[in-house]
Amino acid sequence: MVAVSDSTGAIFSNTGFNIPSLIYGKQQTRKLKAVYCNGALCETVEAETLTNDALLELDVDILVPAPWRIKSQVRMRTESRRP
């Protein structure tokens, strides 16, 4: 997984993220941070900060938006691209 978002923004890394570490970091701090954890010891890893709108523009094979964003964001994107 190369990108993840929450209500405050998104993070992106070409090399991908360790998902259990992201979940643990979010549970501990209530903030989305690019981290790698070994047990309770976490260190920050390199990642680009994006807006949630920029996340939707990434060139990825699969995009899995949260259910509440599917109708609003995807519809707005496709409508804005129609001639």
* Tens digit of each residue's pLDDT, the chain (83 residues): 999 988 888 999 999 999 999 999 999 999 999 999 998 899 999 999 999 889 888 999 998 877 765 566 656 655 666 56
Strands 35-38 and 41-44: antiparallel
pTM: 0.73
Q: In what order do the strands lie in the sheet with 3-6?
A: 3-6, 9-12, 48-50
pLDDT at residue 83 in the model: 61
Amino acid at 56: L
Number of domains in the chain: 1
Residue ranges making up the domain that contains 66? 3-81
